[in-house]
A and B are shown apart, each in its own frame.
Chain A
């Protein structure tokens, strides 16, 4: 291959690789599925002036034999983002509608089925005197108890 032909082909590759980064901007519906051509709008949300706090949440699965497991992405076979969006955040706000699906998913291949889910969380707040930890109310789901909290 001649030098000029090689440069022309390489130039086409360069234009393509750079140009493909415009696709997620132009096709908004597909922007989440075009990896490695992505939108880079990370951490764009801002926060009002005021106290800085954050929550640490976890869901515990309690089996019929009383064994307690923390529900992790690995245990569930889902990513941390899906675990948070589908289960942690709704349950933390009192919406227990995703809980049956979560329990069903956990019980798919278990000999010792999960019979109770507990969402525990703490709020950490930065104050003038340091970091203050507050335990939030525990949310409990048991399928045999309607509307359990």
Chain B
């Protein structure tokens, strides 16, 4: 390889983050992510208004709320009427982002609105992890060319220029998924290591998992978790699986050929957490499903033993 060490690192960096991949996949990710946020995970307007009406001030304001309050007094912005207006603005932006009209702008407004709603909800002394990565992904989609396919914008562009559907590859079409892959690795590693550093190997004793599962499954009415809490050997095995998955998920960054297997294991893990004890990381499930299919689509094609010419003609021509 020629060039200076710096240029070689830049080449490697670009080869990792910006390989040519189908814009179609990114467009599908946009549609799935926006549709699920719009119709599956929308903010509960009634809950936000209830919080505003019953609390004269925030208990633990999130950074985003503090930034907004620094620009505009909280008693002006965080009112039921403004929050209701923001809700409908965010919804409208989401619909535009879904159909791909003014895609970048509408996606950005949709992501920003969604961030504000989550930050507002978590400013009353409670916070959860379920929304974080998904909201980051929504924002990254606004920065990527996710409206270049399967969108009204693309249709208008083609009509104006009388072009055929470009069906193109782009070097900017997969980096949001790759960022998500890295963030999953980081967050799983953090979750796994905190268990080991805080509790050591006692976390693997089976009693820990049974205790966590029993309390939450009983409260949320998940009979599978109540049954699991009574199976000691299975609880030990699942504890070991949890720690191995969380601590070693990052290996999938360095073994990209096996990444879909790690992602499938993580997907099974998240689904298992929900059905057993009601840990509703649905946003993780959606993201992991997108990663499973679109981070390395060629993995599926080679496993299926055939190309899918209608879906990814670019890959066929590249091969």
Contact = CB atoms under 8 A, between A and B. Distances in A.
B127 A35 contact: yes
A44 B14 contact: no
Interface residues of A, number: 48
Nearest to B201: A46
A41 B127 contact: no
B238 to A, nearest CB: 13
Please classify the interface of chain A as helix (H, G, I), strand (E, B), loop, or mixed, using the class held by over half of its residues: mixed
Interface stretch (A62-70, A74-82, A140-148): A74-82
Nearest to B273: A43
A71 interface: no
A44 B126 contact: no
A13 interface: yes
Contact of B194 (A21, A44, A56): A44
A26 interface: no
B127 A32 contact: yes
Nearest to A131: B226
A34 B214 contact: no
Please classify the interface of chain B as helix (H, G, I), strand (E, B), loop, or mixed, using the class held by over half of its residues: helix
A120 to B, nearest CB: 15
Nearest to B14: A7
A76 B187 contact: no
B237 interface: no
A146 B93 CA distance: 56
Contacts, number: 155
Given A40-B191, A43-B195, A46-B203, A78 B125 contact: yes
Contacts of B202: 46-48
Contacts of B131: 36
B126 to A, nearest CB: 3
B269 interface: no
Contact of B126 (A17, A48, A56, A81): A81
Given A7-B18, A32-B60, 12 more contacts: A18-B182, A33-B60, A42-B129, A46-B200, A46-B207, A48-B202, A54-B215, A82-B125, A82-B126, A105-B54, A126-B230, A131-B226
Interface of A: 3, 6-7, 10-11, 13-14, 17-18, 21, 30, 32-50, 52-54, 56, 74, 76-82, 85, 105, 108, 124, 126, 131
Interface of B: 13-14, 17-18, 47, 50-51, 53-55, 59-64, 66, 115, 118-119, 122, 124-127, 129, 131-133, 135-136, 140, 143-144, 171-172, 175, 179, 182-183, 186-188, 190-191, 194-195, 197-200, 202-203, 205, 207-208, 210-212, 214-215, 218-219, 226, 229-230
